[in-house]
Chains A and B, each alone.
Chain A
Amino acid sequence: MRDSLTRRTFLKSSALALAALAASAGTAAASPLLRGPDNEPDEDVKTVLRERFGTRPIREGHVTLDVPDVAPDSREVPLLIESDLPMTADDYVKGFHIIVDHNPDIYLAGFNFTSAIGAATLDTRIKMRRSSHIRIIAETSKGELWSTSRFVYTSLNGCV
């Protein structure tokens, strides 16, 4: 009897904790929990970046990623990528690169543009194996690299 009471109390308190967690997920994008682990890429990610971009510096800024903090379905995580970099005939965003640290293919996709598209925007849906940083790198026609990253929590396993 005493045991079952303890168990009930435990379940109740864990349910409350979960509710609090869900509430914080819904409201505070900047909550420490949702900021996720350290933003520093691991060795595998660094290797991919080196293979793609050599020793060129990757700076933060000029590209934004809109993605849910918690992906309800990790088989279809919607991404919206935009950049405020110029889009003129001789200075334009040549491409966006999508890197997902903990996916089987770390380099998930590349999108190459010409100045004819007029604006650097991209909207697509990706799979995530598990909670991970998503890194977006914008590459300009002059060879500059600008980036942003977000940590996204996933629920269901995404690799089908």
Chain B
Amino acid sequence: MRDDIGQGKIILPAKISRNAVINIRALLSHPMLTGMSRDQAGIPIPAWFVKEVEVTYGGDRVASFEWTSGISRDPFVGFSLRASKEAPLTVTWKDNKGGIFTHSADVKFTTTTAEATR
């Protein structure tokens, strides 16, 4: 059994200016088993996959995902976010066996370009 299950990360762009639409990438280590495969002894391997994902930004839910085991192993998702405030972005993955995994990253403004050019 892999020992990295539940590890993950949220990747934000290196530079973020206020109100820019930024790209967020969220990765989790998880086997995402369909339940249709068998081990070497021919015993079926039970399904084990992330069913729900919730994304919050400064405590507000901004997105949520509904998954099946059709999402690839070590699920990756990239999506957009309007960086309207300096606040933590938190992603919570919940699997069908009750596993809950949470990772977050802080959205911080590195430039004031958007304000300066206004």
Contact = CB atoms under 8 A, between A and B. Distances in A.
Task: Tell me, yes or no, whether A binds B.
Answer: yes
Interface of A: 75-77, 98, 100, 103-105, 107-114, 116-127, 159-160
Contacts of B78: 121-124
B68 A124 contact: no
Interface of B: 21, 23, 25, 33-34, 36-37, 57, 60-73, 75-82, 84
Contacts of B25: 123
B72 A116 contact: no
Top 7 closest pairs, chain A to chain B, by CB: A118-B82, A123-B78, A118-B21, A119-B80, A108-B70, A105-B68, A125-B72
Nearest to B82: A118
A107 B70 CA distance: 9
Contacts of A120: 80
Contacts of B37: 159-160
A110 B62 contact: no
Contacts of A119: 21, 80, 82
A127 B64 contact: no
A70 B76 CA distance: 21
B66 A159 contact: no
B77 A123 contact: yes
A118 B65 contact: no
Contacts of A112: 63-66
Contacts of B79: 111, 113, 117, 121-123
Contacts of B66: 109-112
Contact of B70 (A117, A121, A126): A126
- Of B21, B33, B34, most A-chain CB atoms within 10 Å: B34
16 contacts: A98-B70, A104-B34, A104-B36, A105-B70, A109-B68, A111-B77, A116-B81, A117-B21, A122-B77, A123-B76, A125-B75, A125-B76, A127-B34, A127-B69, A127-B71, A160-B37
Contacts of B63: 111-114, 117
Given A160-B34, A160-B37, A126 B71 contact: yes
B68 A108 contact: yes
A105 B69 contact: yes
A118 B61 CA distance: 14
Contacts of A126: 70-72
B20 to A, nearest CB: 8
